[in-house]
Amino acid sequence: MANLSLLLARHRYCSARGNCLIDCHLILTHSTLIKLFTRHNLLSSGDYSQARVLPAMNESRVLSFLKDLIATNSENPPGREDCVAKVIRNHLEAYGISCISVGPSKRPNLIFSSHEGEKGNLVLHGHMDTVPIGDPNNWKHDPFGAEIQGGLLYGRGACDMKGPVSAIVETLILYTEEKHEKPLLVLTTSDEESGCSGAEEVAKSGRLSGVKFGVCAEPTDLQVLVGEKGIFWFKVIAEGKSAHGSRPEEGINAIKKCIDAIEAISFKPFPHEIDELLGIPTLNIGMIEGGIKVNVVPAHCEAQLDIRTVKGQTPDSLTDLMNERLNSAGLSDRVRIEYIHGKPAVSTAQDSDIVRVASDEIKRVLGTYPSLSAATYGTDCSVLQPKVGITNVICGPGSIEQAHQPDEFIKLEQLFHSVDIYLGIARFFDQ
């Protein structure tokens, strides 16, 4: 059907503005017909089965491509995203879709467009790297085998996020075949799992400047996340004085100083703006290391802490507050705070077009509106939203509960539904 230049359409529809019935006898181009259906809510009113004149998703193509992605190891570290990028490039080039590569050749970030070299209003994005598989003995299924059992596909990256990447790639193929007027972009990034450095490269390149909306396809069980907490990783470094373990009074115990410092900086909540979806900030003491031997008073200790931030909090403001608390506790002469890594909290207004359209498309496909919430974890949105100006939602197949776990899986039904949802969103932004 996508190869036909003209379609004869006869369909009664209700005008959303005038509430009048119009009997259409029109000869339309393919893209014009789809825009007409979308404008009069046929693609978002549950009546999609009557309006659909487009080629159906090729489920076997999606599965074959996903199996190739999972078979291509991209554990981070070291990443090896160039191997995954080659699989994606070759797959899309077979359908006449080329890409622009941004960043190092070994850790590329690929930008594909339905209209070669052109930018539109919408980008669908996901990352190519995965976390390591860990101990392979903990896996019942081959982590690189993409085994299917009981409607589930297993493998490292099945939901986080090679499954979602296969969905946005299939969406781009279908959208391109429909020959729309406005371009649709797909972005696949490197190194998301270790700090979003790939998204940083894309932001610096300016290649996405002017793109208004984005869908991050991270696994959400096809619910809609309209924001995410920020990240502030830092060290608490304490310096003491060594002494013999039998004479601790002659030394200064750096481990004790470090513990006292952590208690001093976290004994009461950090100020923040109230946000019902982002909630409150959290703090986790992730690592602590100090001392050289059990019978020596430790002269040095370091702890690494992770604060998940919300609105009104920045690394600078938090560091200043913690230094004030250290000073008040009389610890600032022996303890210092050292920044490791940070990303801001981001949020999208619930009445934004991208939230409304994504919710409508989920309702069309699944029959119920999604819940709106926010992510406690970080995504590439933490870069693309503040540094490029893209207003994002996070919505993808698979469950975050499966991410980073042995026997990670994705439900195939969700995977296929996500293509339908993404395509509906893309069609709306072609209006």
- Residues assigned a catalytic role: 129, 192
Dihedral pair phi/psi, residue 321, rounded to 5°: -65, -40
Alpha-carbon span 260 to 269, nearest angstrom: 17
CB 305 within 8 A of CB 284: yes
In terms of Cα–Cα distance, which of 283, 261, 285, 281 is closest to 271? Answer: 281
Rg (CA), the chain: 25
CA nearest neighbour of 243 among 302, 298, 292, 300: 298
Q: Computed from CA positions of residues 199, 201, 206, 208, in that sequence, does the dihedral angle turn out positive or negative? A: negative
Paired strand residues for 84 = none
* 281-285, Cβ contacts within 8 angstroms, sequence gap of 24 or more: 281/229, 281/307, 281/308, 281/309, 281/310, 281/313, 282/229, 282/307, 282/308, 282/376, 283/307
Q: Is 293 exposed, middle or buried (0-12, 13-18, 19+ CB in 10 A)?
A: exposed
Within 193-321, strands assigned E span 213-216, 224-228, 230-239, 282-290, 300-309
CA distance 184 to 157: 24
Please check whether residue 152 is in contact with residue 409, taking contact to mean a CB–CB distance below 8 angstroms.
yes
Going edge to edge, which strands form the sheet with 282-290? 282-290, 300-309, 230-239, 335-343
Alpha-carbon gap, residue 312 to 362, rounded angstroms = 32
| Helices then strands, each counted (H, E), the chain | 11, 18
Which amino acid appears at position 378 of this protein? G
The one-letter code for the residue type at 145 is G
